[in-house]
Chain A
């Protein structure tokens, strides 16, 4: 008998196939190999990108020249523009505003073919520190209400450039799913005076069956109400509202668990496409962060999402998260 499971935060129901679950081999996921070619993110091609915003580079090297380890540049084709006023207006039943925001690209490494698992921990720490630094800089602009940090890796995940990169978008409004999560977490907090994510961590640590990896500060697990097979959440064990407020001593632990988790996924599925998104509290708002707990949601691209999911917001999950976690713990194909 399949199970219907309900997300305790946003109230979404998903269908989990428990009778005849898919094994990793049942997913015909596209692994990909790098095509190469002229790449604007490669070492030595700094002139091909817009002028860099920030970088982590060797002493005595100049901006927009080699010598960097992590580099942030404006997106050449930004979805949002930094200059101008929001100019919110109505149009009959519709509401709109100018597309004000920032859209930056963080080039994770000078190497074209090194994804996170191929980097050393110290290199990943530099990426994480840079994400925090950019977030803290962007929230100084009071027009921005939310900083979205995400990664599309591989063609099936929507990456248009091969060279591993993370994107940072500053938005003038809070995206819909974030609002739902915030409201759901707030409702839970009002009733119980506890953070729902902290409760979730407690329950996961007790039940153990959905845990993939953990260290002193972070927990990686397959959520009970996954929307996608092998979906993974990485959460700080201590209650924290903002990703960008990561303490320096926590960063190595986050780098280690990220590397460990993605390595496990790739050992099971090969070089598959994936997305991850940092979910954090909104910026420049009046929401407190007692009830919200930042985390990373990692989604391997194993399936196509079909019409039923589009229309209903209902998801079909062919591998129960308990089984997915087991495969990832054991790195079994």
Chain B
């Protein structure tokens, strides 16, 4: 019997199609025809002039910006959708609302070598990538026009990774809170108002007890297949200790997060034949406003990372309805990933 499961945070129902379930190993990714990589790679050391001017870099002493000698760089996107200069100019047009496309769109080049995936980096380098995310978020918060920074990674062509395979992540600062984030915040607050507990903390406790959906449990972090997964092998990583804001993660925490990210992503890579994937950091919006400020957000929201391997072709139908059919149970997915040795 297929099951209908409800996401406890935003209330989305999904169908876990248990009966027609494929075995986990049947999902492994087929080698597709991807367009050729851009040559030479603009993100490799020595090709700094092929990117816009760097905003941030971890570099050796006595080296100049936009020259070799770096370990990690953040640069503006070559094809940004949002522009940093200008005013928002909010306005109406009949029943519609609009404003100028103001925002920041940056690319984080995770390593100077031509590594094609973050799992090829060591934990220390991944921790530096996380530090870069945090430093950029803190910097962008100073710009009062922005409400949110979304950090994400598109790996592989069909995940939107483009024609540069060099390991990279992106961030976009937006002048409004994105809808998905708002839904999570509202759902979590609703739960908190009634229970006076964080829904994510409750969920983590329950997952640790139930065990069957746990993928990796390591040094203060936990990776699970969510109960109401939308996609096969969807995986969420949570800090076990409650925290609403990714930016507040300390150095030790960053290193531990690097460890679980590397391990989880390596399992996906090995078990599913290097699938395209996306990950997105879900964190609290900037909390600088005074009036109407959300007073319980420190207690009710819990930052986390959502990883989505792109194995099935999502029909526009799922987009249009918000209604997902997941052909693999999260329990089977978690079991399979637990058993992949990395």
Residues of A within 8 A of B (CB): 1-6, 8, 10-13, 15-17, 28, 77-81, 84, 91-100, 148, 150, 152, 155-159, 171-173, 175-178, 180, 196, 199-200, 203, 207, 224-225, 227-228, 274-275, 277, 279, 297, 299, 301, 304-308, 310-314, 316
Contact = CB atoms under 8 A, between A and B. Distances in A.
A1 B81 contact: no
Given A93-B203, A311-B152, A176 B323 contact: yes
Most buried by B among A152, A225, A304: A304
Contacts of A172: 4
A28 to B, nearest CB: 8
B11 interface: yes
Interface residues of B, number: 76
B334 interface: no
Contacts of A12: 179
Given A94-B227, A304-B159, A152 B20 contact: no
Contacts, number: 228
Interface string B210-221: 100000000000
A99 B6 contact: no
A225 B93 CA distance: 12
A180 B179 CA distance: 11
B17 interface: yes
Given A81-B2, A93-B8, A311-B306, A200 B316 contact: no
Contacts of B180: 310-314
A301 B316 CA distance: 8
Given A98-B4, A157-B315, 12 more contacts: A15-B82, A28-B35, A79-B325, A156-B313, A158-B313, A172-B4, A227-B319, A275-B316, A305-B319, A307-B278, A311-B152, A312-B179
Contact of B176 (A4, A200, A277): A4
B322 interface: yes
Given A92-B206, A158-B317, A310 B95 contact: no
A1 B86 contact: yes
A158 B183 CA distance: 27
Nearest to B35: A28
Nearest to A16: B101
Given A93-B203, A307-B160, A312-B181, A99 B101 contact: no
Most buried by A among B3, B83, B178, B203: B178
A279 B86 CA distance: 38
Contacts of B49: none
Contact of B152 (A203, A228, A308): A308
Contacts of A16: 101
B280 interface: yes
29 contacts: A3-B98, A3-B99, A4-B100, A5-B97, A11-B179, A17-B101, A79-B20, A97-B4, A99-B16, A148-B321, A150-B320, A152-B315, A156-B313, A158-B315, A158-B317, A275-B316, A275-B320, A277-B320, A299-B316, A305-B160, A306-B160, A308-B280, A311-B152, A311-B281, A312-B179, A313-B178, A313-B181, A313-B183, A314-B179
A175 B323 contact: yes
Given A156-B313, A311-B280, A97 B20 contact: no
A4 B98 contact: yes
B265 to A, nearest CB: 14
Interface in B84-99: 86, 93-99
B154 interface: yes
A297 B322 CA distance: 14
A90 B281 CA distance: 28
Interface in B134-182: 150, 152-154, 158-161, 170, 172, 174-176, 178-181
A79 B179 contact: no
A21 B247 CA distance: 35
A311 B278 CA distance: 9
B199 A93 contact: yes
Contact of B323 (A11, A99, A148, A225): A148
B308 interface: yes
A100 B279 CA distance: 32
A275 B81 contact: no
A261 B18 CA distance: 38
Given A3-B100, A172-B4, A13 B317 contact: no
A79 B20 CA distance: 8
Contacts of A308: 150, 152, 154, 160, 170, 172, 280
Contacts of B158: 304
A159 B16 CA distance: 19
A256 to B, nearest CB: 23
Contacts of A84: 1
Contacts of B6: 94-96
B100 A94 contact: no
B152 A158 contact: no
A171 B180 CA distance: 23
A95 B8 contact: yes
Contacts of B320: 150, 177, 275, 277, 279, 297, 299
Contacts of A155: 313
Nearest to B100: A1
A16 B174 CA distance: 14
Nearest to B155: A307
B282 interface: yes
Most buried by A among B94, B319, B320: B320
A160 to B, nearest CB: 9
Contacts of B20: 77-79
A229 to B, nearest CB: 12
